[in-house]
Amino acid sequence: MDCLVWILCAYGCSQILVYGKIFEKPKERLLNYGLHCGIGIRWTITNFIHSALDCMMCCGTWVGFFLSTIYSPTATHIGCPAWLSWLLDGAFSSGGVWLLNVAANRLDTTE
């Protein structure tokens, strides 16, 4: 049950970060800042962050990494080392968020 709650939290956070109106302006500013920096390390970092905040699967991975610092379902249920549970939580979150997003999109498009 705790895994389901954890995935739902990851989905909610990802949904807010990717589709939330509150993050439209900061994401737009970040993209504009990256475009004005020219090609270089700043452009690479801002482009990476903007891309991660536009993709549910990418955002779900990073949200999973963050949530893993609060609670790790893989460390709790499997008992693996911290570095491995961090990676597995990112993958678990990415897959769960993607699956819920696909299901929500399918339900949204059916009439």
pLDDT tens digits for range 70-109: 998 888 888 888 889 999 999 999 999 999 999 998 888 7
Q: Per-residue pLDDT for 66 more than 80?
A: yes
* Residue 64 confidence class, pLDDT cut points 50, 70, 90: very high
Give mean pLDDT, residues 9-34: 86
* Tens digits of residue pLDDT in 15-27: 999 998 888 888 8
Structure token pair of residue 85: 């549970």
- Say if pTM beats, i.e. exceeds, 0.75: yes
Q: What's residue 30's pLDDT?
A: 77
Helices 56-70 and 41-52: crossing angle in degrees, nearest 10, is 90
Question: 100, 106, 82, 83: which is closest to 3 by C-alpha?
Answer: 100
Question: 70, 72, 69: which is closest to 80 by C-alpha?
Answer: 72
- Considering the chain, what percentage of its residues have pLDDT values greater than 70? 91
- List, in order, residues 6 or more apart from 23 with CB less than 8 Å away: 16, 17, 53
